[in-house]
Structure 1
């Protein structure tokens, strides 16, 4: 298919490898994204150069949208976008790089041509993450949470906030982990993220900062990252009661439901404006939005808006979440989730995030239909993606290139485990809890080596081996008692509206409080329950 921007006859993923095998020539894979300004620049200036086009005659050029094909992205990403990857006709990697200029790409083309002439397919390699893919299994212990917290404390940037050096990413799941365990670090990071990455004019958050001090902002906005930050700021409001956190979550929710709203669901991303002109509002020209409706990104947005609604009674957030939930359900077939309309199915990230959106809908809206669909998604995921050792693959081990090799993403496994733990309570089914145990124990052998970016794993382990708070409410969703339960200051709690009990009954592990007939009584019961647990 032709692309006027570079005048190169780009092949699709499947077509490209078939053509490469037929011609016995290497593939040059251009992995890009609609929101990536560097990708557009390289396609126009580097691939658009006549000499580069001539040098590509001995290759099969393949262009893949990283958002549309996440399993390709996760196997071939060279550390950023764009990624340029040279492969054998079977998909093994010859070499690769990120953004290249004309001379850089021409040099690599010549080198790969020589290697291919000398060694052919024997020069290809399979990345270690795929070649040695067995996860580092181990025993789940409460110490994993404490060990991870210690590494977060060591990596925390006391001067600028956030964890690590440069580049600086907001890490919303790490913030949420810290909200319960190192609140000072969480608050310092929230302030840094809000100060430097939040768009004060149009709402929403930019993707990351190049430098340790949060300077040199990368101005693209991704729906999943905005949704996760909306949820993190909402949870910070729950934990602290600070109005500034609520306002930031609300502005992000507004950005999701205006700029990123397609009319039926949430768009995938928004690219930077021309020349990254993010100064005065009158200079804005409306950066382009990719209106592809991705399942996982919509699921995160639904969860975030319902979380925000649970703490604030914001009717608009609820309305948009319910509408997007309807669109998300159209992508589900027998528990199998399509990445987008007409796209690949059964990606673990889509399954996990959809599960979380559905369990949140049960907790906040009281939807029995959402609970039923959540069980279908969980059952299908366990049946099709879980190995005998308990680990979950990122998708079906099938497809062109390295897609036939299984990949076990620990961060996604933790997201899935969180949803399964919620579902175990909501559906009163311990099989989901055991599936979560398998997902987490598959990586427990690496528990002492996990960095701040994997704090979500620590959260899931804590919820599995610890004594998480559960509140069963014998009144329907929306009642005063249910709303009070949602606002108990623990964002890791599970709330079950419409339960078979009198009043509201809080429990943590084997300890159960007396039924609370009113919101005030519930608050007292939970405080006593949590206090008793801390004293043990």
Structure 2
């Protein structure tokens, strides 16, 4: 038993603790050992619910002969990409220099100072379809390292130089509503007219389909806020997915993606990120049935005893003594009752829980469902308790209350802050808004993790993280990859922008709007050019391009609350008079002066923080 992995906060690493491979977890210790032995480092990156990661583990990492080859010529490092997203981002970018088929398991060979010089993904145990066996790869890499070291060093340096050049980007102006409408229409033009969703020209029946929820959310909001008339494209995509095998007919969750253009033949793992963001898309589409069923999957399957949400549910299960991909999900409810469900990756990822907390808070408010609010509150309390260190540092994840050694990233800070802000508005509990401000603090307007504020027209906006949160990448001087996309969930820059905007909408101060604006300026040009890949960033740009609408209800009248729920708004806060005073006292100016009117519950409809006279009659809303 490899104790270095057995005590990890990652189920993926724990599963590899019984391998004969002498794995190190990600950390400086492995690279120090490689320098001592003057050998390359083999970095294997995957995650707990990855089917082909399981396959390579069974075929290669359980083989004593392969383990001996790795021990003889390499230092081997096992990385959970969900625990160390920055490591995954860095090496995915580097791997693109060597293979066009990026994915997981990701197999990267580096120098002892962490520079990649060769990479691939899954390697079979025997040569297959032009792909060499894993043993052949190990032999070739070791020969290159011992006999052609200059060539290896040159390749590693070239990759670093290319990433440094590609990672540079300049600022631009904030996008206008007209530019955002044009971007939405261009994204909508990629719609698959036959099956819904997105497919390029000439796509055949075997083209994989992903939900791409950030893009769907952008099309919904651009249709409403920028008169782009694109919301129907998003609605059709959602309807097609909901009616297809991509949605589990028994307990409502959506699978990761479909392997065919018509949404059939799903890849059966179910991710927290996909399902949390699909709750928001369903809410905007008026599909309350999908909101409830997807939320049911989160609360019944992914929510852990601690209250936090697991990262994912596996695609594989045991059926008749054999591992089966998807076999469990292909049965009806009665058939499933006879089987052990696929395992969940119980790792509580900070930012992903933020997505779920925010989605459930908004859904609970709009649907008037206190059970969803309670699930969001339970998760928030769990994350704030387990995923923040004793000295106040945000951590990436925890497992069974065991905190990860991985530092929280900008993505975690932004997504959790946005989720906590939504929960504060939904429950009226200012403590969650205060916690959101604290979580975002190191990356916020006065944080110490930022680049220089400089000139507003400069190239270093103050909300751009200056360096990696991961200490090993930072120590090695690993360059940041090109601007991250948010095709499946918000990237780190998008997450920070949305976290800042969530606090600004509650009245935390205009400096939070400026923080978001600085981020959007930096990424706007690429986002406008590639709208399908940058849906979350473009949603942030929409919020900055027009005045926000905020509705505050001093609760006490059910009809008034019901009427308020029907109003499209950026924030709907339902609070008591006492709670409104607590928000105002904590520095959230949206709630200043929000009181009952002549002792009667009242609603305040505000545009860009300027509020109309309060109303007490639901009909007036």
Q: CA RMSD for the aligned pairs? A: 2.5
The answer to which of 146-155 and 317-326 deviates more is: 146-155
Distance (whole Å) between structure 2 residues aligned to residue 412 and residue 519 of structure 1: 40
Aligned equivalent of 1:526: none
Secondary structure of the residue aligned to 1:266 is coil
Q: In structure 2, do the counterparts of structure 1 residues 351 and 395 end up closer, same or farther at CA, with 3 Å as the change threshold?
A: farther
CA deviations on 1:215-248 (whole Å, 9 max, x unpaired) are 33110011122111122212322xxxxxxx2122
- Structure 1 residues 114-153: aligned runs within 5 Å: 114-117=143-146, 118=148, 119=150, 120-124=152-156, 125-126=159-160, 128-142=162-176, 143-153=178-188
Q: In structure 2, do the counterparts of structure 1 residues 258 and 131 end up closer, same or farther at CA, with 3 Å as the change threshold?
A: same
Q: In structure 2, do the counterparts of structure 1 residues 412 and 140 end up closer, same or farther at CA, with 3 Å as the change threshold?
A: same
1:439 partnered with 2:525? no
Aligned equivalent of 2:566: 487
Corresponding residue to 2:396 among 323, 327, 339: 339
Corresponding residue to 1:426 among 496, 500, 506: 506
Cα distance, 1:273 vs structure 2: 3.0
Distance (whole Å) between structure 2 residues aligned to residue 417 and residue 5 of structure 1: 42
Aligned equivalent of 1:392: 464
Show structure 2 runs of 5+ residues with no match. 3-15, 96-101, 127-131, 201-206, 224-229, 318-323, 453-459, 486-490, 581-590
Distance (whole Å) between structure 2 residues aligned to residue 471 and residue 86 of structure 1: 54
CA deviations on 1:336-395 (whole Å, 9 max, x unpaired) are 421123222230111011111111012211111111112212222221333222242396
Aligned equivalent of 1:301: 356
Show structure 1 runs of 5+ residues with no match. 238-244, 523-536
1:279 partnered with 2:330? yes
Corresponding residue to 2:537 among 436, 439, 457: 457
- Structure 1 residues 169-208: aligned runs within 5 Å: 169-180=210-221, 181=223, 182-196=230-244, 197-208=246-257
1:80 partnered with 2:103? yes
Cα distance, 1:4 vs structure 2: 6.1
1:28 partnered with 2:45? no
CA deviations on 1:200-224 (whole Å, 9 max, x unpaired) are 1132111011222223311001112
CA deviations on 1:308-361 (whole Å, 9 max, x unpaired) are 111212222122111111112112367742112322223011101111111101
Cα distance, 1:521 vs structure 2: 1.0
Cα distance, 1:415 vs structure 2: 2.6
Distance (whole Å) between structure 2 residues aligned to residue 35 and residue 248 of structure 1: 24
Aligned equivalent of 2:310: 267
Distance (whole Å) between structure 1 residues aligned to residue 37 and residue 81 of structure 2: 26
Which has the larger helix fraction?
A: 1
Q: In structure 2, do the counterparts of structure 1 residues 437 and 496 end up closer, same or farther at CA, with 3 Å as the change threshold?
A: farther
Distance (whole Å) between structure 2 residues aligned to residue 52 and residue 415 of structure 1: 41
1:11 partnered with 2:46? no
- Residues 42 and 99 of structure 1 are in contact (CA less than 8 Å); yes or no, is this contact kept in structure 2? yes
Normalised by the length of structure 1, the TM-score is 0.89
Distance (whole Å) between structure 2 residues aligned to residue 478 and residue 13 of structure 1: 55
Cα distance, 1:88 vs structure 2: 0.8
Secondary structure of the residue aligned to 1:442 is helix
CA deviations on 1:60-110 (whole Å, 9 max, x unpaired) are 111111111111111123521111111111111111111110232223223
- Residues 206 and 218 of structure 1 are in contact (CA less than 8 Å); yes or no, is this contact kept in structure 2? yes
Secondary structure of the residue aligned to 2:285 is helix
Cα distance, 1:480 vs structure 2: 4.7
Aligned equivalent of 1:532: none
Give the aligned length: 513
Distance (whole Å) between structure 1 residues aligned to residue 217 and residue 17 of structure 2: 44
Aligned equivalent of 2:457: none
Aligned equivalent of 1:533: none
- Structure 1 residues 315-334: aligned runs within 5 Å: 315-330=370-385, 331-332=387-388
- Residues 310 and 487 of structure 1 are in contact (CA less than 8 Å); yes or no, is this contact kept in structure 2? no
CA deviations on 1:153-188 (whole Å, 9 max, x unpaired) are 222211111123432111222222222311210111
Corresponding residue to 1:376 among 438, 455, 460: 438
Distance (whole Å) between structure 2 residues aligned to residue 127 and residue 97 of structure 1: 20
Aligned equivalent of 1:94: 117
Distance (whole Å) between structure 1 residues aligned to residue 559 and residue 464 of structure 2: 39
Cα distance, 1:51 vs structure 2: 4.1
The answer to which of 347-356 and 307-316 deviates more is: 307-316
1:229 partnered with 2:264? no
Aligned equivalent of 1:242: none
CA deviations on 1:24-67 (whole Å, 9 max, x unpaired) are 11111111111011101101102333443343221111111111
Cα distance, 1:476 vs structure 2: 4.2
1:112 partnered with 2:141? yes
Q: In structure 2, do the counterparts of structure 1 residues 496 and 318 end up closer, same or farther at CA, with 3 Å as the change threshold?
A: closer
